[in-house]
Amino acid sequence: MVVLAVLLLPSGLAAQEATWVVELEAGPAWQSYNDVEIPNDGTATRFSLYDLAGSGAWPAGRLYLGWNPSPRHGLRLLFAPFSLTERGLADRELSFAGATFGTHTPLTATYTFNSYRLSYRYRLHAGNRTRAWVGFTAKVRDAVISLEQEGKRSRKTDLGVVPLLHLAGEWRVLPTWRITLDADALAGGPGRAVDAALTVGHDLGNRWSVHAGYRTVEGGADVTDVYTFAWLHYALISLEWRR
């Protein structure tokens, strides 16, 4: 909120809203933790996918499609697939999703977290150098966690819709340079979800710009069916087209 307040301070370069925006983002991703227990009822083992798969890095990417029918109102689609598969040894016997896996044979662990979102954004501020948006996001979560060992395989899928709050701000530090904060997040009840990026962008002309920065994705759920919390970090670069 402090960063958003700074972005609302008036300055001196007018910014216009493009009608169409397409942004392609790519870069490596790492994980700080990835804890799993399925089911979360005392019958399974709580274990770390970080210990099995390591910290990374793995390739990641996403695609944004934005439409702003008026200067204040906008819609944005996001396609953000992510998956990792690694082999490792468990330090103890693991009970996961109805199957038991031993300690002396390598395990193949797969973690997939695909995110598809539709966001409505309202531009609540447009200064000479600063702009800010607030809105809400409908997130479709398509997740899979699986373990495989010597032909034995167990997996848990999770497909659901999660509502998130959307906040974004932009500060034009120079005529062709900007700093952008963009976040979808919500916490409460049995889980939480945070997806936030801080980037520096440079305009290559009226229609193209490049961005680089850092993204963090953290969250999970603690319910009877699953306990799963992960924290991912991305070094990102993106190319944006607008019209």
What are the extents of the domains in the chain? Answer: 2-242
Considering the chain, what percentage of its residues have pLDDT values greater than 70?
93
Q: What is the DSSP letter of 43?
A: T
The rounded distance, in Å, linking the Cα atoms of 241 and 243 is 7
What does the pLDDT look like over 54-92, one tens digit per residue?
999 999 999 999 999 999 999 999 999 999 999 999 999
Distance CA 115, CA 142 (A): 6
For position 95, what pLDDT does the model report?
Answer: 97
pLDDT at 239: 98
DSSP calls for 181-204: EEEEEEEETTEEEEEEEEEEEEE-
Stretch (H or E) spanning 225: none
Domain 2-242 has CATH 1.10.3720.10: no
Q: Where would I find the H helices in the chain? A: 2-7, 49-53
Mean pLDDT value of segment 135-146: 97
Q: What is the pTM of this model?
A: 0.90
> What is the model's pLDDT at position 16?
67
| Identity of residue 167 | L
